[in-house]
Amino acid sequence: MDYLARYNEWREKAVEDAKIAEELVSVKDDKDAIYDRFYTTLKFGTAGLRGVLGAGTNRMNIYVVRQATQGLANYIKNHIGTGAVAITHDSRINSSLFMNEAARVLAANGLKVYITTELQPTPVLSYLVRHLGCVAGIMVTASHNPAKYNGYKVYGSDGCQMTDVAAGIVYDEIQKLDMFDDIMLCDFDEAIRSGSIEYVADSVYDSYVAEVEKRQVNAGVCKGSDLNVVYTPLNGAGNKLVRRVLADIGVENLHIVKEQEMPDGNFTTCPFPNPELKEALQKGLELCGEVKADLLLATDPDSDRVSIAVRRKDGTYRLYTGNEIGAMLTEYILSSRKALGNLPEKPVVVKTIVTTKIVKAICDKYGCEMRDCLTGFKYIGEIILGLEKNGEEDRFVFGFEESCGYLSGSYVRDKDAVVASQLICEMAAYYKKQNKSLVDIIEGLYEEYGYYLNTTLDFYFDGATGMEKMSKIMTGLRDQGPAEIAGEKVVHVADYLKSESTDLLTGAVEHIDLPKSNVLAYTTESGNCAIVRPSGTEPKIKIYITAIAKSLDAAGALTEKIAADMKGYLN
Q: Is 143 a catalytic residue?
A: yes
Cβ-proximal residues to 504 (8 Å cutoff; 6+ apart), any chain: 489, 490, 491, 492, 493
- Where do the DSSP E strands lie in 236-378? 253-256, 295-299, 306-311, 317-319, 348-352, 369-373
- C-alpha–C-alpha distance, residues 315 and 278, integer Å: 17
Which residue from 173, 263, 215 is spatially nearest to 425, judged by alpha carbons? Answer: 215
- C-alpha–C-alpha distance, residues 564 and 482, integer Å: 12
Which residue from 124, 154, 90 is spatially nearest to 416, judged by alpha carbons? Answer: 124
> CA 305 from chain center: how many Å?
7
Instruction: Say if CB 132 and CB 96 are below 8 A apart.
Output: no
Burial class (CB in 10 A: 0-12, 13-18, 19+), 478: middle
Which residue from 100, 71, 73 is spatially nearest to 88, judged by alpha carbons? Answer: 100
Helix and strand numbers, DSSP H then E, in the chain: 18, 23
Q: Is the dihedral of CA 271, 323, 339, 436 positive or negative?
A: negative
Which residue from 92, 41, 91 is spatially nearest to 63, judged by alpha carbons? Answer: 41
Instruction: Say if CB 150 and CB 99 are below 8 A apart.
Output: no
Query: Given strand 84-89, what is the order of strands in its sheet?
Result: 49-52, 149-156, 136-140, 84-89, 112-115, 197-199
- 348: which strand partners? 369, 396
In the set 91, 95, 143, 196, the catalytic residue is 143
Q: Is the dihedral of CA 91, 92, 97, 99 positive or negative?
A: negative
Q: Which amino acids are annotated catalytic?
A: 143
